[in-house]
Structure 1
């Protein structure tokens, strides 16, 4: 079983940890977070092992970056750059209730949470956060580092640029 480190210990990281537990295909080692007040604690029963740079000491573990700040949506992209990890280090986390068609593709480092759906020929880039109950329909393309908040729905052929944010319940056609 592959081992996984989650970068971040906030809400998105906690949701991702639950998806990892529910899927059961990765061994979750813990969270890494630069907030020193969290080091040595547990978040929802998952240990916070230390700062983000510890990822370099655990070279066998896969990684998913789960930071997201409504005041700074570029934080995930900056952290990927800062860590400088090879692309094959990044895991893709898909909750077992997510429906992903065989013609769809999800990039490395992306997270699909509970009850989201990718219908046909959907392309999700790298390090994308897809929250619960998001629906992506035929031929949608979601750029790297995008965030789709819970309940967002994209009509067929929609295109989201790198780093885009789509708010909760949004309908995009």
Structure 2
């Protein structure tokens, strides 16, 4: 059984802990977190061992970054790379309820929690987080560090950009794209392409400006 370090002691780490313990995929060594107040504390039976830089002290352990925000995961991965932590030591966590059909690809460092559905030809990048009950259908492409909250559904041929965030129960029409760094609100229905770094909400989804949804195309 592989040793595993969890990076960041938040809610996502607790969910990953539950997943790996139920499946027996990994032996969790502990959690690393830069919050000094958390050092020595215990999270669901896993001890916070020290700061993120201590990953180098556990040369046999694999790691998964449990920061909820994609941009935050990207910063942690970049920091670890700067410290000499090799990309090959990141691992992927997939709940035992998830089926990965032939032709689907999952990037290193990604996390797929309970009852995620992938149909055919789905490609997930590195360090993607997919929460329970998400549906990804044929030929969807998800770039690195994207985050899906529970219940998100993508039609076929959708492209999700780097570090984009899709809120709980959002859905995206087939053949459309969500740009890098974009945020899609809870329950939003995306019917057309979303630009990079934009925030869209509502049914149908439209852009927000100064906290007020604006008409699409205005």
Shorter-chain-normalised TM-score: which range? over 0.9
Distance in 1 (alpha carbons) for counterparts of 2:110 and 2:34: 21
- Native 8 Å contact 1:23 1:94 kept in 2: no
- Residue 12 of structure 1 aligns to a residue whose secondary structure is helix
Task: Report the Cα offset of residue 162 of structure 1.
Answer: 0.6
Alignment of 1:69-80 (within 5 A): 69=69, 73-80=70-77
Partner of 1:45: 45
* Rg comparison, structure with higher value: 2
CA deviations over 1:39-75 (Å, ceiling 9, x no partner): 1111111111111111011111000001124xxx411
Higher RCO (CA 8 Å, separation ≥ 6 residues): 1
Q: Distance in 1 between matches of 2:23 and 2:140?
A: 25
5+ residue gaps, structure 1: none
Distance 1:106 1:129 in 2: 11
Query: What is the rounded CA distance, in whole Å, between the counterparts of 1:11 and 1:48 in structure 2?
Result: 14
Partner residue of 2:132? 132
TM-score, normalising length from structure 1?
A: 0.95
Partner Cα distance (1:23, 1:17) in 2: 10
Report the counterpart of residue 90 of structure 1 in structure 2. 90
Question: What aligned pairs does 1:15-54 form with structure 2 within 5 A after superposition?
Answer: 15-54=15-54
1:131 Cα deviation from its structure 2 partner: 0.4
Is contact 1:3–1:60 with CA below 8 Å preserved after alignment?
yes
CA distance in structure 1 between the aligned counterparts of 2:38 and 2:98, rounded to whole angstroms: 30
* Aligned-pair CA distance for 1:93: 0.3
Cα distance in 2, alignment partners of residues 30 and 117 from structure 1:
29
Alpha-carbon separation, structure 2, partners of 1:37 and 1:44: 17
CA–CA distance in structure 2, aligned partners of residues 155 and 13 of structure 1: 29
CA distance in 2, matches of 1:57, 1:120: 40
Aligned residues: 170
| 2:4 matched residue in structure 1 | 4
- Deviation digits for residues 100-122 of structure 1 (CA, Å, limit 9, x no counterpart): 21211100000000110111110
RMSD: 0.9
